Amino acid sequence: MVTRIGGLASGMDIDSLVEQLMTAERIPLDKINQKKTYTEWQRDDYRTMNSALLELDQLIFNGVGKQASYIKKTVNTSDPNAVSIKNVNSTVDFTGSIQVNKLATSATMFSTTKTGITDSSAKLNITAEQTIKISAINKDGVLQSEPYELKITADDTLDSIIAKINKDSGVTAFYDAQSQKIAFTAKNSGEVAGGQEIVLSDDGAAGQSFFSDILKTSANNQDATTAGFGSRGVNAELTYNGMNITRSSNTFQINGVEFTAKQVTGTPVTFSSSADVDSILDTIVSFVDKYNEIIDKIKTKTGETKYRDYTPLTAAQKKEMEEEDIKLWEEKAKSGTLRNDSILSSVLTKMRTNISSPVSGTTAFSQLSQIGITTTSNYLDGGKLTIDEDKLRAAITENPNGVYDLFQKSGDTTSEKGVAQRLRDTLKTAMSDITTKAGKTSSINNSFTLGKLLNNYSTQITNFEDRLTKIETRYWNQFTAMEKAISKANSQSAYISQQFA
């Protein structure tokens, strides 16, 4: 920054004069800065609206647009302590009986004698590296085709090896320091027909075998029961609707319904299901609430008053104002950035059409009004929805799949698509248009329309500031020349006066 001192000869406040002259020169620059600020406000408002549209889109996708929302069921069982039942993906109600004759158990193996390891955190007495292998029963009731492998060295401790086994293999290992024995339990229950549920092996040298010599276990559990170092896995045995079945796990699925056997039952446990009306109703109500919220936001934003006399404040103007006054001013200055915006007005119209148009090809319901969802009678609401809860409950109870079809029916044309699919198509188009105009937070300016405009304003500002620097220098040069002339005249006057004296 250049420091200038003026007015020594003329007695004039040159700094003040130049400042006043530059204030006038800066007026066009202030207007460009105000335009840039307003464009930034507009960009941010577009992005805020895009976020709101995305929220609705995601709520539709995770709610009324997902079949899982409509197959939620209330399941009643005669003995929930013996068998728990929940729906996974069955689209129809179900009923029946199940009797638990035997629970599935997991195979186990453990040391036959004490290992002699008193400190599991100490390094093992292994003189050469060796590889251990562990195979265990899978969830489908067969032995792993590829065993888990782990290289161990003299630097390993029993604790470190157990941690790796428990994390990645098909078994859970536990070492009891008091008994100095280790136990392996298959993570999956059930039995392998004609085989073992756990197979342990290593390539350690004689006297150094990790399983046989160090942990005192056998390499398999084929004769675990008789040898006394473990037990075989057992399948669950059940009677389902009068038919005897076996499963390797106590938790299994039949026709999209998950059963979990908890204890053996002497008699059949009966069960039945019905639509979870409250849960489905809540999903639809959440959609309607969010839809109405978006309608209100768009309608409010596109109808905001634009106060043309309230332009963005310059830095100099803010210095002369109180904080509260600045806040009130900018509230009006920011108003109307999206007034009558074509993108938002268009999406609002299309959303109303999506909601009101019938869905062709459905078997139960073709319009939202048939399940109790209609637009409000007040046209000033902009097409907000209202719910007749009794009518909606009746529709869900009668045919939840029909309600799902109304929202999410697939089709090649808009008229064939469900309400949720139509809305998502409309929202995606609008969000794409807004992104093209206002970009995203991560976007660079030259990739969207308003960003290019902001870059243009920045260029104008830079060029104008360079111009102002030159103008200010010119003013100072002119005043400096004047000061020199006055100083010279004063010197000459003083000389003449001295001569006459």
Tens digit of each residue's pLDDT (9 = 90 or more) over 16-30: 776 777 677 778 888
Q: Could you tell me what percent of the chain has a pLDDT over 90?
A: 69
- Predicted pLDDT at 480: 76
Q: Classify residue 24 by burial, with Cβ atoms within 10 Å: 0-12, 13-18, 19+.
A: exposed
Long-range contacts (CB closer than 8 Å, 24 or more residues apart) made by 385-393:
385/288, 385/291, 385/292, 385/355, 387/284, 387/285, 387/288, 389/281, 392/281, 392/284, 393/277, 393/281
Q: How far apart are CA 147 and CA 200, in angstroms?
A: 9
pLDDT band at 75 (very low <50, low <70, confident <90, very high): very high
Q: Are 12 and 261 in contact (CB under 8 A)?
A: no
What would the mean pLDDT of 35-51 be, rounded to a whole number? 96
Write out pLDDT tens, residues 61-70: 999 999 999 9
Q: Are 371 and 382 in contact (CB under 8 A)?
A: no
Write out pLDDT tens, residues 255-296: 999 999 999 998 999 999 999 999 999 999 999 999 999 999
Q: Are 231 and 108 in contact (CB under 8 A)?
A: yes
Query: How many of the other CB atoms lie within 10 Å of CB of 458?
Result: 13
- Listed residue (319, 335, 343, 360) closest to 435, CA to CA: 343
Q: How far apart are CA 188 and CA 196, in angstroms?
A: 13
Order across the sheet with 230-231: list the strands. Answer: 171-176, 181-186, 108-110, 230-231
Checking if the pLDDT of 49 tops 70, the result is yes
Pull the structure tokens for residue 155.
């630097």
Q: How far apart are CA 419 and CA 426, in angstroms?
A: 11
Q: Are 262 and 233 in contact (CB under 8 A)?
A: no
Q: Classify residue 125 by burial, with Cβ atoms within 10 Å: 0-12, 13-18, 19+.
A: exposed
Q: How far apart are CA 443 and CA 434, in angstroms?
A: 13
Write out pLDDT tens, residues 147-162: 999 999 989 999 999 9
Min mean pLDDT across 79-83, 120-124, 186-190, 196-200 is at: 196-200
H or E segment to which residue 154 belongs: none
Q: How far apart are CA 485 and CA 482, in angstroms?
A: 5
- Listed residue (104, 322, 126, 132) closest to 233, CA to CA: 104
Min mean pLDDT across 123-127, 218-222, 243-247 is at: 218-222
- What residue spans define the domains of the chain? 24-67+279-303+340-447, 73-104+235-275, 108-231
- Listed residue (395, 348, 349) closest to 369, CA to CA: 395
- Predicted pLDDT at 4: 55
Checking if the pLDDT of 401 tops 60, the result is yes
Q: Any idea what DSSP says for residue 416?
A: G
The pTM of the full predicted model, rounded to 2 decimals, is 0.76
Write out pLDDT tens, residues 200-232: 889 988 888 898 888 888 655 444 444 456 888
Residue partners of 376: CB distance under 8 A and separation at least 6? 384, 385, 386
- Listed residue (279, 268, 216, 254) closest to 71, CA to CA: 279
List Cα–Cα distances, 280 to 73, 244, 394, 500, in angstroms: 9, 35, 12, 111
What would the mean pLDDT of 43-59 be, rounded to a whole number? 97
- Predicted pLDDT at 487: 73
pLDDT band at 336 (very low <50, low <70, confident <90, very high): very high
Q: Are 252 and 259 in contact (CB under 8 A)?
A: yes
- Predicted pLDDT at 29: 84
H or E segment to which residue 277 belongs: helix 277-302
pLDDT band at 9 (very low <50, low <70, confident <90, very high): low
